[in-house]
Chains A and B, each alone.
Chain A
Amino acid sequence: MTEAATLLEIKNVAKRFGSVKALRSAELRVRAGEIHALMGANGAGKSTLVKIITGVFPCDAGSIVLAGVARNFRSPAEARRAGIVSVYQDPALVPDLTLSQNMRLARVPLESVTGYLAEMGIGKVDLSAYVRDLPQPILRLIDLARALASEPKVLLLDEITAALPSDMAGKVFEMMRRWRERGHAVIFISHRMAEVSAICDRTTVLRDGATVGVTETASGSQEQIVSLMLGTDIAKAAQSVAQPGVGQSIPKDEPPTLEVRGMGLRNLLHDLSFSLRPGEVLGVAALEGQGQDELFDCLAGVRRFDSGTILVEGKEVHFRHPGDAIKAGLVFVPANRLQALLQQRAIRENVALPMFRSPRSWGPLSMARERERVQSAVTRLQIDTRAEAELRRLSGGNQQKVVLARWISHGFKTLLCFDPTRGIDVGTKRQIYSLIRELAAAGSSILLFTSELPEIRLACDRAIVMFAGRIVNEMPAREADEATLLLSAHGLVPRVAAEA
Chain B
Amino acid sequence: MVRNDPSEKGATGFLPSGGARVASMRWAGRYLPVIGMPLLLAVALLFTTWIHPSFGAFDIQSLALGALPLAFAAAAQTCVVISGGIDLSVGSLIAVANVLAASTMQHADFRQALLLAAGILIAGAISGAINGAIVVLSRIPDVVVTLTTGFIWGGVALLIMEKPGGGAPQQFLDLAAGTTLAPWLPNAVILLIAAVAVVWIPLKLGRAGLLVYAVGSDRVAAFRSGVGVETTRILAYTLSGLFSAMGGLALTMTTAIGAPLAGVYYTLSGLAALVIGGVSLTGGRGGISGPVLAAFVLTLIPTDLIFLNIDPNYGQVIQGTLIVLVVMLGGFVTVLRNRK
Contact = CB atoms under 8 A, between A and B. Distances in A.
Given A96-B217, A136-B12, A101 B210 contact: yes
Interface string A35-70: 000000000000000000000100000000000000
Contact of A92 (B11, B12, B224): B224
A94 B226 contact: no
A321 interface: no
A135 B15 contact: yes
Contacts of A91: 221
Interface residues of chain A: helix, strand, loop or mixed (majority): loop
Contacts of A137: 12
Nearest to B216: A96
Contacts of A94: 213-214, 217-218, 221-222, 225, 284
A95 B217 contact: yes
B10 to A, nearest CB: 6
Nearest to A150: B226
Interface stretch (A73-81, A256-264, A272-280): A73-81
A130 B220 CA distance: 18
A97 B224 contact: no
Interface residues of A, number: 32
Interface in B193-227: 207, 210-211, 213-214, 216-218, 220-227
A91 B6 CA distance: 11
A104 B224 contact: no
B14 interface: yes
A132 B13 contact: yes
Contact of B16 (A105, A106, A133, A289): A133
Interface in B1-44: 5-6, 9-16, 26, 30
B29 to A, nearest CB: 9
A106 B221 CA distance: 11
A137 B221 CA distance: 16
A163 B11 CA distance: 12
B228 interface: yes
A102 B225 contact: yes
Interface string B230-258: 00000000000000000000000000000
A107 interface: yes
A266 B340 CA distance: 12
Contacts of B26: 133
Contacts of A95: 217-218, 221, 284
Contact of A97 (B5, B13, B213): B213
A92 B220 contact: yes
Contacts of B10: 90, 136
A77 B228 contact: yes
Nearest to B12: A136
Residue of A94, A104, A137, A289 with highest tally of chain B CB at under 10 A: A94
The number of chain B residues touching the other chain, given as a range, is 20 to 34
Contacts of B216: 96
Contacts of A97: 210, 213-214, 217
Contact of B284 (A92, A96, A105, A107): A96
B217 A90 contact: no
A88 interface: yes
Contacts, number: 85
Interface in A71-121: 75-77, 80, 86, 88, 90-97, 101-102, 104-107
A98 to B, nearest CB: 10
Contacts of A107: 226
A105 B210 contact: yes
Nearest to B218: A94
Contact of B223 (A76, A96, A132): A76
A105 B285 contact: no
A134 interface: yes
Interface in B130-173: none
Nearest to A88: B224
B139 to A, nearest CB: 15
A90 B15 CA distance: 18
A289 B10 CA distance: 13
B224 A135 contact: no
A134 B11 CA distance: 10
A267 interface: yes
A94 B5 CA distance: 14
A88 B9 CA distance: 12
A105 B211 contact: yes
A129 B137 CA distance: 35
Nearest to A162: B9
B13 A135 contact: yes
A95 B220 CA distance: 11
Contacts of A130: 30
Contacts of A92: 220-221, 224-225
Complex A-B, nearest 3 residue pairs according to Cβ-Cβ distance, in ascending order? A77-B226, A92-B224, A96-B217
Interface of A: 56, 75-77, 80, 86, 88, 90-97, 101-102, 104-107, 130, 132-137, 163, 266-267, 289
Interface of B: 5-6, 9-16, 26, 30, 207, 210-211, 213-214, 216-218, 220-228, 284-285
26 contacts: A56-B224, A90-B5, A90-B9, A92-B221, A92-B225, A93-B225, A94-B214, A94-B217, A94-B284, A95-B221, A96-B218, A97-B213, A101-B210, A101-B214, A102-B214, A104-B207, A105-B210, A105-B211, A105-B222, A105-B227, A106-B226, A130-B30, A133-B13, A133-B26, A136-B10, A136-B13
Given A77-B227, A97-B217, A267-B12, 10 more contacts: A75-B226, A77-B228, A80-B226, A92-B220, A94-B218, A94-B225, A95-B284, A96-B218, A96-B284, A135-B14
